[in-house]
A and B are shown apart, each in its own frame.
Chain A
Amino acid sequence: MEKQAYIVGVYDDEEPLIKAAQKFKDEGIKIQEIFTPYPIHEIFEIQDVKSRLSIAAYIYGWIGGLSILAFMQYAAVLSWPLNYGGKPENSFPSFILVTLVFTILFVTIMSLTTFIGRAQIFPGKTIDIIDPRSTDDKFVFVFPKDGTDRQKVESLLKSTGAVEVYDR
């Protein structure tokens, strides 16, 4: 993978980071990525990132639930009806448990697949780690070098409490 050139600002605490992110947003400077060691909800709001995974999961739930009910109907009523002690073939109440559990299983598998697909993460993926300390104790802002006003960004980073600013 060809390495891109970046300007990197490093913070060592969450509070100045959130303030800085807000300041950059107010100034109209786009931060390409913010890497943090744990999720910070304020950053999600400032960066305006959203996830529609829960909507997808809701839809998967309906698909999973309805298909397993239809399948049980087919298997136990249409394909090979068996008489279990004179009970009705389409014994809806006793299908509910299987429906519930299968729906959960289906939502899990599909949500995981969607997550892997959307977040593009999979075992053995080759990555370009900007600053390895961002999974440890540092909070990292990354700006693309092209098209960024270097001086302005650097002075903003320093004034908001960045402990390091460097090129990469």
Chain B
Amino acid sequence: MYKTEVRGLLVEGGKTLGDVTRDVMSPLETRSPNWWRVVFGFASLMSIWGIYSIYITITQGIGTWGVNNTVGWGWAIINFVWWIGIGHAGTAFSIFLLVLRQKWRTSINRAAEAMTVIAVLCASIFPALHMGRIWNFYFILPYPNTRGPLWVNFNSPLFWDFLAISAYLLISASFWYLGMIPDFASIRDKTTSKVKKAVYGFFSMGWLGSAKEWIRFEALAFILGGIAAVLVVSVHSIVSTDFAVGMEPGWHTTIFPPYFVVGAIFSGFAMVMTLMIIIRKFYKFENYVTDSHLNAIARILVFVSLIMGTAYLTEIFLSWYSGNKYEMFTFFHNRITGEFTPQFWAMFISNALIPQLLWSKKLRSNITVLFIISIIINIGMWFERFNIVVTSLTKDFLPANWAPYHPSLIEVGIYVGTLGFFILGILLFFRYIPMIAISEIKGVMKFNKTKAD
């Protein structure tokens, strides 16, 4: 068989199986570090502002936001799409690489999946609040009711969205939990604390690691992985149809589904990179999350960034080529130039140009550069959603409809709040869940051995 040395060792430092369990368990067994407590404090403050803003929105209504009749979708939908995008890559990462049998996923998948679940939970807050009357939330469920029964509109992308995101959340969470069962069992059998033994024992569901358990476990992981791979593509395509079936200039294009899916994978991979650098640095997991892992993610980012750049240029080209004056206006006089110039160029430079620096091997192996670029990409992706939502809505076909949009403090508060929830969730993940999939790492260690021979 043709073999090529693309990657270094999957686990460095000559670790034994016992070392893996001990290393991954160590953050769970020791006192939480000081930085953890400080960040936890900050994130709690952010969350409190978020909860206050959510309370005001629910009790006083959407009037507390900066949205108006023209710009009906403001920060809420921007942040919703942004969070869904981030939530996308965790499962994309973990599942595509599982289906493609890429062994380097094992060090990263747990954290990526954690990120997915928390980000999707953050995302779901926005459409729920945007409904206005959140207590009538159950109207969206197709159940036999006393209103006819009046069923939901199965042709509406908004209903598809609701279904797709619920399904995605459930499947990602199940997949994540399934992977943790053997690791919880490892902790149960190794820890000396009685409380931990009981708690992790409860959640390990009586796992023993017999051949029969393992074969079923693998079968289920492949089933969930295989079908969730379809969902990864469909969820963001459906989110894009929320826009693409709308008539607004700049939205009504067939490029939207692939454009959104790629954008989601892009921002999610950037967030995975941010997270892995933090894990590696603060928990000393350099032997598990190796330079080779970060290098692999960086190379994927360069590639996806090229696709993003191509998509941006294609949109601009087609607005000119179509000869449609409204499309031309949106792209040339409302994005590239005009009122929203800074936002457009922030998007273009952060997503299409700056990641190109990663072509250089020297920059790719500089952790600080990688960290900064991963943050820049996420900011750029936020501006992308801003561009799509706000530029198209503020100036549509009739100048009489035009209206400006500025977010209110309540809208900003909800966004900051979700950032706080996300950070809190990630910190709790660091503290209570093995950050690296213990059993999966052990399973790929034999490939290390053959490489060392």
Contacts of B219 in A (CB 8 A): 51, 53-54
The answer to whether B359 has its CB under 8 Å from any CB of chain A is no
B182-217 contacts to A, CB under 8 A, are: 182, 185-186, 188-190, 202-203, 205-217
Whether the pair A136, B18 counts as a contact (CB closer than 8 A) is yes
Task: Give the nearest-CB partner of B190 in chain A.
Answer: A136
Contact (Cβ within 8 A) B190 A44: no
Interface: B427 (CB within 8 A):
no
Query: CA of A65 to CA of B426 in the docked complex: distance in angstroms?
Result: 36
B220 within 8 A of A: yes
B163 in contact (CB, < 8 A): yes
Asked if A47 is an interface residue, CB under 8 A from chain B, the answer is yes
| Given A53-B219, A57-B223, A135-B209, A100-B234 contact (CB < 8 Å) | yes
At the interface with chain A, which of B143-151, B369-377, B390-398?
B143-151
Contacts of A14 in B (CB 8 A): 446
CB atoms of A97 and B212 under 8 A apart? no
Q: Which of B160, B190, B227 contacts A107 (CB 8 A)?
A: B227
The segment from A34-42, A143-151, A152-160 that touches chain B is: A34-42
Please determine whether A121 and B230 come into contact, CB atoms closer than 8 angstroms: no
Identify which of B154, B208, B230 contacts A94 (C-beta below 8 A).
Answer: B154
Interface residue range, chain B:
35 or more
Do A133 and B189 contact each other (CB < 8 Å), given the known contacts A72-B154, A107-B223, A125-B205? yes
* Residue of A whose beta carbon sits closest to that of B144: A79
- What distance in Å separates the Cβ of B416 from its nearest Cβ neighbour in chain A? 31
Q: In the complex, what distance in Å separates the CA atom of A43 from the CA atom of B213?
A: 12
Contact A53 to B142, CB < 8 A, known contacts A91-B155, A107-B227:
no
CB of B86 closer than 8 Å to a CB of A: no
Interface residues, chain A, CB within 8 Å of chain B?
14, 33-40, 43-44, 47, 49-51, 53-54, 57, 71-72, 75-76, 79-80, 82, 84, 87, 91, 94-95, 97-98, 100-102, 104-105, 107-109, 111-112, 115-116, 118-127, 129-130, 132-137
* A-B residue pairs in contact (CB < 8 Å), sample of 15: A34-B210, A36-B209, A57-B227, A79-B151, A98-B163, A101-B167, A102-B167, A104-B227, A111-B224, A119-B217, A123-B203, A123-B205, A129-B189, A133-B189, A136-B18
Residues of B that sit less than 8 Å from A by CB: 16-18, 21, 142, 148-151, 153-155, 159-160, 163-164, 166-167, 170-171, 174, 178, 181-182, 185-186, 188-190, 202-203, 205-220, 222-224, 227-228, 230-231, 234, 238, 439-440, 442-443, 446
3 nearest interchain CB pairs?
Answer: A125-B206, A137-B17, A132-B189
